[in-house]
């Protein structure tokens, strides 16, 4: 019963993250200058985190990291705030799935 509940939690979290990760960013401008693109560079680089994929949705961190979280002396990168929230709310489930 516990395993079934954990699988359902992972499935719901993954579905939520897929929707969040697949949404197109909204912008008032259709073109950016090189200076604007440099100013909008991601604050986090894949080399700064301990994971190669977002633990919630599986998106590679090299695609972009919007936020990080510290857990068990490691830094994990996430593609969206929604994935970070899902991880923080149920980190033991996602860590177990990564191992």
With cut-offs at 50, 70 and 90, classify the pLDDT of residue 99. confident
Residue-by-residue DSSP string for 12-80: HHHHHHHHHHHSPPP-S-S---HHHHHHT--S--GGGSS-SB-TTT--BGGG---EEEEETTEEEEESS
Classify residue 14: in a domain, yes or no.
yes
Tokens 């950016």 sit on residue: 32
**Can you tell me the distance from the alpha carbon of 39 to that of 49, in angstroms, rounded to the nearest whole number?**
21
| Whether pLDDT at 59 is above 80 | yes
Classify residue 36: in a domain, yes or no.
no
Q: How many domains does one find in the chain?
A: 1
With cut-offs at 50, 70 and 90, classify the pLDDT of residue 28. very low
Classify residue 57: in a domain, yes or no.
yes
Classify residue 38: in a domain, yes or no.
no
pTM of the predicted structure, to 2 decimals: 0.60
pLDDT score of 30: 46
Mean pLDDT of 68-82: 95
Where in the sequence is the domain holding 51, given as residue range(s)? 2-21+44-98
Classify residue 35: in a domain, yes or no.
no
pLDDT score of 53: 95
């Amino acid at each position: 019963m516990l395993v079934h509940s954990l699988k359902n939690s992972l499935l719901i979290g993954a579905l939520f993250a897929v929707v969040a990760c697949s949404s197109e960013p909204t912008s008032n401008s259709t073109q950016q200058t090189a200076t604007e693109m440099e100013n909008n560079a991601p604050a986090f680089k894949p080399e700064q985190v301990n994971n190669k994929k977002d633990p919630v949705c599986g998106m590679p961190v090299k695609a972009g990291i919007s936020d990080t979280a510290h857990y068990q002396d490691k830094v994990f990168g996430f593609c969206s705030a929604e994935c970070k929230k899902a991880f923080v709310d149920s980190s033991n489930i996602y860590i177990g799935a990564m191992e």
